[in-house]
């Protein structure tokens, strides 16, 4: 089943490359091995003809280093396995760990003295990989009885359940399926726990316009084993949250900030020793606890809700961005380089039927779409304008925005098109269900040219003429 | 108009906290960023706030000041590099030693990279939004480019060339054995490699994509300098006129050079430099090194200098995976060694003889006849050849990694030499003959096996196998008839090996010969049993007669059936036996033609001389002479040569030889010849030698020229004529066979097929085949096609 031919192809690779989804599924169910860490495995996955096959293969991948469908989980795994900056604050065995994360996952770690000196390295490895959501769930070399004891002791009951579930399986295919189930539960549990953490952080924020005193800082940060104060101006208030570099480094902006040799978080370089930061020393000189902020505060008023959307997204991939905060979230995500949140915000924005309900002008949405390069929104605006063309033709601001669109091309030539106009024409055709390629040339189409169809063509041409009139007024040729 | 994304509109996204003016004060904001850049460049960054700087740049970009910011940043970086960094380096170049200068250069480079990292960090939004949209290099790359243009290449490459010169000099010193600071060289070269000559993909300059400062400026100088170094080194080494010195040094040098490349040169240069080195030191000179008289290929091979040869092989392998120059020289060497085989063998034999004479001066008189020593020569020659072959085999194994191409070349050289003439085939057959008759006797089975295998090696080289077949058949016939073969097993073993080598058709006649001998023995047994009761025989001879016969199938055996043979007159006893045998044989195999060949075989006769009675074994012819003319109690005592011939009708040349052996040869002078001389003349008179005396009772008369010996030139040309005749027949047979099967064929295909079928026997020339085809057309076996002269038809 897993043999290779003279060109190192396995049946699975061939089925994957040639796009036979059913064959791929059959092979996987019969125990064909996908291992991303091997040449054959990566060949099957990256050579997959369709996304469906790729997804199928990934769901059977026995070594998944990260789960691409769970960005937050892969970030947390990376904190354990390949941290880009030193954010760990405690060392157990050979592992550099984060107290806030351990405590979130199990109250056991909140005790002052946790002692794992008697636990074998492999059991510790499994335990921490489990806590850090590493998807491999690799039981190789693990003393299962010892692991069960550790699970009981630390109160990680699901870990025990998961191990027993995996051990109960016989075939490789069943083991993989079970691991997938377990991974899903692991992620959901972790998200719930991190949600509780964020709720706590949010409810314990301090609103204060002036600088926090050292004591205030310590009181804010220490209970959460946090290492930063997140200071934002929201609404009319200045808010302070206890946050973690480990989580904030998900945003490229903060990762760069933490990694660059500037003053902002330079204190951690002094506190770090062999990849572990001494947080107690930081709390002892609480004045030095760094404050970080948002980059765009003088441009746009950010609401408290938006700040918290950001926190929830960073900590546990919250994907719910209510339309009324979508614009702010979009701007914020753009400035912080969080592409996924930016996309979510854009989707939320383009789901709005009537922008007046969220007090945003269509034109501003279009300008934002240009500024932040969100094509989805440009389309959406063109669509909305096409739907209600008469109203917009009467609006002088419509003319302004057409001019703005025409200027977006450097050194515009006479024959260059105006993107906005093109888009509007496209949606007008759709609106009136006109076949733009000229259906009359097709004899079968001729028969549908009944009165109803002719009426639609008439309306369409009317709309087009309305647009052309405006262009003429503006002296534009497009 | 709106500056960013809609602060202006009547419908507002959440009112901004404060309305900022459209015209953000660029100069004021830039001043902050510029100062920060300077602080970073002066390593004071730890005082700066990332967030503040980022926010400033972010807001400038949002307000469409990206281009201004970008251009200002570039200028600021350039100016710093030009006015500060460059000046420091120029100072260092003037006042510091070379190494300090390089260290300084590397320091400022590393500082610059660090600065650029931080600058591009705070300008991240500029990179991502402005530079990306307008397809401009990222700020970090702008920094690299500025370092290249404002420091390294400024003022006609001033600093760059200075560094290049220093490093080249270091490398030169390292080549002369000096210790140098490898790390700084590696670091500077790494820097040069990082300085791209093509910043953006769509630049229009003619620099190839991926070109960098190292490749464009450093490498050419390095290669040029290395070239002169290698050339000079080669000239130096060539002056010794010693292959050993040259090769040892080149081995060492290439190892050192490769280590050097590993240590601090980039991977791209490695193949170029190695190719240059190999070309200068190996490709150009190695052939003349091999040719050196006193310390070159010839000596290494003759002295079995495996180590040297292996080094040679490895060096040539670096430049040519086909080893052409080695093959060329090996071929010359093999041919020259082969040519020496003759003189070498001759010298050895002379030396051997001299030694033998010294040990036993008595033997001086018994000088070997010319032909005998020629046979010894042939045997010795093949032995020497096999030794030579083995020598090369050992060299190939020990020094040339058994390289198949080299093996082929050596084999083909041997083959070329061995096929220069047909002597090899005869020599080889003699060698085997000698072995089976004598030298294999005291050898173990394995040794014999080994020697036979070696014979096959030589056999393999021989292209004209039919010539060998001819000789082998002759020699085998003699061995069988004269019962000189030491072992039938060895004979059969050899034949089996030949069969394995080229197939059973080649050996079927040899096997037939063996079968004849075996059948004959059985027949003789039967005949003699029958004869024991024959009264008539007893009456004629007074006692019992035995006869051993060999019945030879004409086509298997090489002896020609001569008409003269049937005219021989036999004495009474032999005639009686002959008649008896014929009738005995005919009862068994009626219808067969039996021709007697008295020129083979021997007869035992008891002869009474006055002093003693001897039992003499002699050739059948000699026996005929004695019994017909010199019987006891016959009236006539003296016969002339002509009279003897008249009585016996033995063909004259044979008669001469046999008379010689019984009247001239000193130990077996049974007859007296008058006058006493070596040669036989028709008028010579022969009578019984009453004075005959011999220490033994049993005497063997050896006939002149009865062993297997080297042919003289006339014999050889006779043999070749015979072979040519059989070649004509074989070729014609092949043509007819092929045409019979195909009915029609064009010329080239026919010729190819004939060659293919005959390749195991000999190599017919196409012209030879063409001649055969013409003959067959004349004989009306074939006809040319009317329309296409190139096509032949088979005529039934």
Dump pLDDT digits (tens) for A31-41.
677 766 567 77
What distance in Å separates residue A365's CA from the closest CA in chain B? 8
Q: Tell me the CA distances in angstroms from B700 to B175, B554, B667, B695, one per residue in order.
A: 82, 29, 9, 12
Q: Do A233 and B46 touch (CB under 8 A)?
A: no
Q: How confident is the model at residue A435 (pLDDT cuts 50, 70, 90)?
A: low
How far apart are alpha carbons A328 and A266 in whole angstroms?
30
DSSP notation for B629-675: H--TT-S---EEHHHHHHHH---HHHHHHHHHHHHTSGGG--EEEES
Q: Which residues of A touch B53 (CB under 8 A)?
A: 262
Q: Which residues of B touch A253 (CB under 8 A)?
A: 54, 124
CB atoms within 10 A of CB A469: 11
Q: Which of B9, B54, B128 is the closest to A361 by Cβ?
A: B9
**Domains plus CATH for chain B?**
26-211 (1.20.1310.10), 291-418 (1.20.1310.10), 421-535+546-559 (1.20.1310.10), 602-700 (3.30.230.130), 715-794 (1.10.10.10)
CA-nearest residue to B128 within chain A is A337
A residues 107..166 contacting B (CB < 8 A):
none
Structure tokens at A387: 């739907």
Q: Is B277 at the interface with chain A, CB within 8 A?
A: no
How far apart are alpha carbons A345 and A347 in whole angstroms?
5
Tell me what pLDDT residue B557 has.
85
Interface pTM, i.e. ipTM: 0.82
Q: Is A209 at the interface with chain B, CB within 8 A?
A: no
Q: Is B25 at the interface with chain A, CB within 8 A?
A: no
- Check whether A193 has a pLDDT greater than 70: yes
Q: Do B13 and A292 touch (CB under 8 A)?
A: no
B residues 121..150 contacting A (CB < 8 A):
121-122, 124-125, 128
- Secondary structure of residue B744 in the 3-state scheme: strand
Query: Mutate which of A249, A260, A297, A366 to disrupt the B interface (most B C-beta within 10 Å)?
Result: A260
- Secondary structure of residue B687 in the 3-state scheme: strand
Are B551 and B523 in contact by the 8 Å Cβ rule? The answer is yes
Structure tokens at B1: 């108009």
Return the half-sphere exposure (C-beta side, CA atoms, 13 A cut-off) of residue B68. 17
Q: Is A34 at the interface with chain B, CB within 8 A?
A: no
Mean pLDDT to the nearest integer, A100-114: 90
CA-nearest residue to A299 within chain B is B16
How would you classify residue B591: left for phi > 0, otherwise alpha for psi between -120 and 50, otherwise beta? Answer: left
What distance in Å separates residue A375's CA from the closest CA in chain B? 14
B residues 548..567 contacting A (CB < 8 A):
none
How far does Cα B104 stand from its chain's mean position? 59
Judged by average pLDDT, the poorest of A251-265, A372-386, B350-364, B417-431 is B350-364
> In this structure, are strands B744-746 and B671-674 parallel, antiparallel, or unpaired?
unpaired
Nearest to A332, CA basis, from A357, A364, A367, A368: A368
> In this structure, are strands B782-784 and B791-794 parallel, antiparallel, or unpaired?
antiparallel
Tell me what pLDDT residue A410 has.
60
Radius of gyration of chain A, Cα coordinates, nearest whole angstrom: 28
B residues 99..118 contacting A (CB < 8 A):
114, 117-118
DSSP notation for B571-587: PHHHHHHHHHHHHHHHH
Q: Which residues of A touch B5 (CB under 8 A)?
A: 331, 364, 367-368, 370-372
Q: Do B12 and A367 touch (CB under 8 A)?
A: no
- Check whether A442 has a pLDDT greater than 70: no
**Domains plus CATH for chain A?**
11-60 (no CATH), 71-188 (3.30.710.10), 202-292 (no CATH), 352-473 (no CATH)
Query: Mutate which of B13, B16, B118 to disrupt the A interface (most A C-beta within 10 Å)?
Result: B13
Q: Tell me the CA distances in angstroms from A286 to A227, A279, A463, B496, one per residue in order.
A: 10, 10, 66, 101
Q: Do B17 and A298 touch (CB under 8 A)?
A: yes
Q: Is A426 at the interface with chain B, CB within 8 A?
A: no
Structure tokens at B598: 């008295």
CB pairs under 8 A between A and B: 119
Q: Is A322 at the interface with chain B, CB within 8 A?
A: no
Structure tokens at B23: 């015209």
Tell me what pLDDT residue A105 has.
92
- Residue A367 or residue A446, greater confidence: A367
DSSP designation for B216: I
Mean pLDDT to the nearest integer, A171-191: 86
Q: Tell me the CA distances in angstroms from B632 to B625, B639, B642, B735, one per residue in order.
A: 13, 14, 21, 62
Strand ranges inside A141-270, DSSP E: 206-207, 228-234, 237-243
pLDDT digits (tens, 9 = 90+) for A293-345: 998 655 567 889 999 999 999 999 888 889 888 988 998 999 999 988 998 89
Are B46 and A261 in contact by the 8 Å Cβ rule? The answer is yes
Structure tokens at B19: 């309305």
| Most confident listed range (A365-379, A405-419, A439-453, B76-90) | B76-90
Tell me what pLDDT residue B207 has.
61
What distance in Å separates residue A399's CA from the closest CA in chain B? 13
Is the peptide bond between B675 and the residue preceding it cis, with omega within 30 degrees of 0? yes
The model's pTM is 0.68
How far apart are alpha carbons B64 and A411 in whole angstroms?
17
What distance in Å separates residue A426's CA from the closest CA in chain B? 24
Structure tokens at A11: 């049946």
What distance in Å separates residue B5's CA from the closest CA in chain A? 5
How far apart are alpha carbons B505 and B507 in whole angstroms?
6
- Secondary structure of residue A291 in the 3-state scheme: strand
How far apart are alpha carbons B689 and B637 in whole angstroms?
11
A residues 225..244 contacting B (CB < 8 A):
233
* Local mean pLDDT, 10-residue blocks, chain B (796 residues): 36 36 75 94 89 91 89 96 94 91 95 94 92 90 93 92 94 89 91 80 58 91 94 92 92 90 88 92 92 90 93 92 92 92 86 79 54 79 91 94 93 90 85 84 84 88 86 86 80 89 84 88 86 73 75 81 79 85 86 83 84 86 86 77 88 84 82 83 85 84 64 77 86 89 89 87 86 88 87 85
């Amino acid at each position: 089943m897993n043999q290779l031919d003279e060109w190192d192809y396995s049946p699975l690779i061939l089925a994957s490359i040639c796009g036979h989804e059913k064959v791929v599924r059959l092979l996987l169910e019969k125990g064909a091995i996908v291992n991303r860490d091997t040449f054959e495995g990566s060949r099957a996955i990256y050579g997959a003809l369709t996304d469906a096959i790729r997804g199928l293969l990934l769901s059977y991948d026995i070594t998944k280093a990260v789960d691409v469908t769970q960005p937050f989980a892969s970030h947390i795994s990376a904190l354990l396995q390949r941290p880009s900056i030193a954010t760990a604050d405690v060392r157990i065995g050979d592992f550099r760990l984060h107290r806030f994360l351990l405590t979130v996952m199990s109250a056991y770690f909140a005790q002052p003295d946790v002692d794992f000196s008697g636990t074998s390295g492999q059991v510790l490895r499994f335990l921490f990989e489990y806590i850090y959501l590493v998807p491999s769930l690799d039981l190789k070399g693990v003393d299962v009885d010892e692991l069960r004891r550790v699970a009981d002791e630390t109160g990680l009951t699901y870990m025990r359940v998961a191990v027993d579930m995996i051990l109960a399986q016989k075939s490789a295919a069943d083991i993989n399926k079970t691991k997938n189930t377990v991974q899903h539960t692991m992620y959901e549990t972790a998200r719930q726990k991190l949600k509780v953490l964020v709720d706590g952080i949010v409810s314990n924020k301090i609103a204060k316009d002036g600088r926090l005193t050292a004591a205030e800082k310590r009181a804010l940060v220490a209970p959460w084993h946090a290492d930063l104060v997140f200071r934002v101006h929201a609404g009319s208030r200045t808010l302070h949250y206890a946050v973690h570099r480990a989580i904030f480094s998900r945003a490229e902006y903060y990762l760069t900030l933490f990694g660059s040799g500037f003053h902002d978080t330079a204190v951690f370089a002094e506190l770090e020793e062999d990849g572990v930061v001494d947080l107690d020393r930081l709390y002892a000189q609480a004045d030095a606890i760094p404050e970080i902020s948002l980059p765009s505060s003088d441009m746009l008023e950010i609401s408290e809700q938006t700040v918290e959307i950001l926190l929830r997204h960073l900590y546990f991939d919250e994907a719910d961005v209510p339309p009324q905060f979508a614009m702010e979230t979009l701007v914020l995500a753009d400035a912080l380089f969080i592409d996924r949140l930016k996309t979510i915000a854009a989707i939320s924005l383009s789901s709005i039927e009537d922008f007046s309900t969220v007090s945003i002008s269509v034109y501003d949405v279009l300008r934002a779409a240009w500024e932040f390069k969100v094509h989805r929104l440009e389309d959406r605006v063109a669509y909305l304008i096409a739907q209600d063309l008469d109203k917009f033709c009467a609006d002088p601001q419509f003319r302004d925005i057409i001019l703005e669109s025409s200027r977006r091309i450097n050194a515009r030539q006479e024959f260059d098109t105006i993107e906005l106009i093109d888009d509007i024409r496209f949606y007008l055709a759709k609106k009136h269900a006109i076949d733009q390629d000229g259906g009359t040339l097709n004899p079968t189409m001729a028969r549908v040219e009944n009165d109803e169809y002719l009426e639609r063509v008439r309306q369409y041409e009317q709309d087009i003429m309305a647009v052309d009139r405006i262009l003429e007024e503006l002296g534009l040729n497009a | 108009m709106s500056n960013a994304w809609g602060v202006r509109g009547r419908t507002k996204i959440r009112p901004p906290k404060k309305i900022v003016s459209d015209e953000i004060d660029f100069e004021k904001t830039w001043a902050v960023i510029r100062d920060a850049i300077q602080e970073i460049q002066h390593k004071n960054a730890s005082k700066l706030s990332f967030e503040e700087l980022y926010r400033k740049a972010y807001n400038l970009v949002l307000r469409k000041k990206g281009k201004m910011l970008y251009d200002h940043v570039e200028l600021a970086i350039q100016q710093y590099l030009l006015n500060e960094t460059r000046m420091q380096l120029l100072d260092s170049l003037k006042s510091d030693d070379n190494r300090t200068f390089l260290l300084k250069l590397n320091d400022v480079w590393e500082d610059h990279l660090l600065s650029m990292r931080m600058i591009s960090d705070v300008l991240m939004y500029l990179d991502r939004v402005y530079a990306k949209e307008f397809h401009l290099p990222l700020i970090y790359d702008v920094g690299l480019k500025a370092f290249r243009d404002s420091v390294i290449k400024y003022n006609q490459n001033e600093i760059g060339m200075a560094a290049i010169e220093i490093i080249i000099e270091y490398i030169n010193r390292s080549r002369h054995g000096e210790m140098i600071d490898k790390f700084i060289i590696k670091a500077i070269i790494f820097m040069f490699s990082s300085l791209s000559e093509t910043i953006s993909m769509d630049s229009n300059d003619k620099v190839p994509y991926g070109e960098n400062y190292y490749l464009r400026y450093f490498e050419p100088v390095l290669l040029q300098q290395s070239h002169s170094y290698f050339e000079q080194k080669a000239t130096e080494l060539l002056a010794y006129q010693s292959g050993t010195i040259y090769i040892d040094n080149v081995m060492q040098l290439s190892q050192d050079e490769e280590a050097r490349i590993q240590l601090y040169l980039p991977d791209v240069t490695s193949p170029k430099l190695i190719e240059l080195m190999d070309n200068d030191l190996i490709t150009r000179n190695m052939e003349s090194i091999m040719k050196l008289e006193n310390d070159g290929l010839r000596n290494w091979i003759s002295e079995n200098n495996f180590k040297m040869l292996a080094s040679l092989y490895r060096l040539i392998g670096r430049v040519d995976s086909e080893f052409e120059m080695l093959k060329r020289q090996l071929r010359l060497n093999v041919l020259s060694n082969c040519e020496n085989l003759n003189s070498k063998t001759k010298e050895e034999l002379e030396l051997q003889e001299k030694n033998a004479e010294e040990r036993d001066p008595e033997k001086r008189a018994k000088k070997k006849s010319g032909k005998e020593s020629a046979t010894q020569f042939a045997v010795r020659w093949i032995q020497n050849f096999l030794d030579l072959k083995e020598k090369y085999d050992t060299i190939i194994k020990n020094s040339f990694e058994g390289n198949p191409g080299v093996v082929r070349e050596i084999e083909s050289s041997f083959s070329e030499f061995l096929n220069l003439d047909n002597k090899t085939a005869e020599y080889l057959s003699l060698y085997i003959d000698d072995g089976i008759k004598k030298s294999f006797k005291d050898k173990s089975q394995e040794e014999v096996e080994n020697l036979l295998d070696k014979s096959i090696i030589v056999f393999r080289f021989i292209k004209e196998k039919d010539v060998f077949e001819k000789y082998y058949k002759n020699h085998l016939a003699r061995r069988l008839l004269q019962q000189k073969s030491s072992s039938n097993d060895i004979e059969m073993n050899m034949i089996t090996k030949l069969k394995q080598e080229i197939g059973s058709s080649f050996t079927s006649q040899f096997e037939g010969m063996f079968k004849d001998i075996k059948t004959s023995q059985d027949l003789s047994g039967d005949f003699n049993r029958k004869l024991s009761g024959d009264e008539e025989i007893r009456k004629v001879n007074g006692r019992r007669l035995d006869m051993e016969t060999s019945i030879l199938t004409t086509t298997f055996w090489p002896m020609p059936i001569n008409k003269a043979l049937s005219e021989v007159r036999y004495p009474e006893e032999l005639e009686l036996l002959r008649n008896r045998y014929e009738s005995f044989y005919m009862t068994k195999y009626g219808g067969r033609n039996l021709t007697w060949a008295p020129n083979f075989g021997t007869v035992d006769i008891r002869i009474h001389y006055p002093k003693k009675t001897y039992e003499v074994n002699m050739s059948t012819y000699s026996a005929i002479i004695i019994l017909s003319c010199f019987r006891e109690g016959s009236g006539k005592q003296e016969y002339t040569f002509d009279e003897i011939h008249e009585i016996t009708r033995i063909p004259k040349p044979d008669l001469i030889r046999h008379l010689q052996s019984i009247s001239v040869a000193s130990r077996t002078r049974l007859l007296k010849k008058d006058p006493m001389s070596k040669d036989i003349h028709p008028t010579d008179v022969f009578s019984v030698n009453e004075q005959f005396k011999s220490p033994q009772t049993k005497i063997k008369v050896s006939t002149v020229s009865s062993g297997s010996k080297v042919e003289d030139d006339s014999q050889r040309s006779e043999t070749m004529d015979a072979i040519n005749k059989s070649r004509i027949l074989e070729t014609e047979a092949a043509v007819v066979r092929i045409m019979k099967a195909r009915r029609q064929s064009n010329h080239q295909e026919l010729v190819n097929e004939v060659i293919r079928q005959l390749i195991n026997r000999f190599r017919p020339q196409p012209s030879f085949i063409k001649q055969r085809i013409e003959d067959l057309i004349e004989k009306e076996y074939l006809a040319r096609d009317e329309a296409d002269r190139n096509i032949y038809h088979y005529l039934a």
